[in-house]
Amino acid sequence: MSTSQNRRALVTGASSGIGAATVRRLRADGWDVVATARRADRLAALAEDTGAEVFAADLTQAADVTALVDYVEQTGGLDAVVNNAGGALGLDPVATSDVEQWRAMYEINVLGTLQVTQAVLPLLRARGGGDVVVVTSTAADGAYEGGAGYTGAKHAERMLATTLRWEIVDEPIRVIQIAPGAVATEEFSLVRFGGDAERAAAVYDGFEPLVADDIADAVSWTLSRPAHVNVDLLVVRPRAQASNTKTSRKASDV
């Protein structure tokens, strides 16, 4: 339970990668943090390492979201949410892609973000203002072959964030979107390619990608701006990556 006067944030997708790094960074910055994800064992380890509160939940399930937000409300309220939960599945052409993979990507990237954001807005309003951070992706910027399911989901998530920004502009709530490019985490590409470690590692061959701490740093920076400053969209790519389809594979040698 949060008993201090520190600002308090909810971070989703916190069991690994960007989410876990964001929990660590915000705790280092002095925030109280509620970390949520499906895997209770990983959350327990994160709590031990950081002192964060944890609450296991599947954000595609409305009942889990309700239970999570009830917990947050009853234990101290909320100043910010970092909607980070998401992911990619497969890299297949439209003609042969798996409909269930598309459905899963929309459920977690879009509908999960929607359900959490809807549920926490009253808590932010009760605080007199706050921050909604949405971690999308440069996949929202345009198409690439094999990526229609993921780019479509991330574009929808971007439209959610952008539209919310317009709709609540009269309120003291910031809507911040952070769009990472290539980020090498322990699970993102491995999950995308069904556990194929060799194929996952090849994504980052020949250049230095971002790491989870780079995006956690971006989250921290946007949240630390003065209250009148809204970072509408922050695109963060490796130096070697000019676009989704343009990467210098020799950059690590330069």
Task: Give the DSSP H/E element, type plus range, for residue 8.
Answer: strand 8-12
Q: What does the pLDDT average to over 99-114?
A: 96
DSSP per residue, 109-140: IIIHHHHHHHHHHHHHHHTT-EEEEEE--GGG
pLDDT of residue 190: 59
Mind telling me the catalytic residues? 150
Q: Which residue(s) pair with 90 in the sheet? A: none
The average pLDDT across 175-195 equals: 80
Token code pair at residue 209: 């990608």
pTM over 0.75: yes
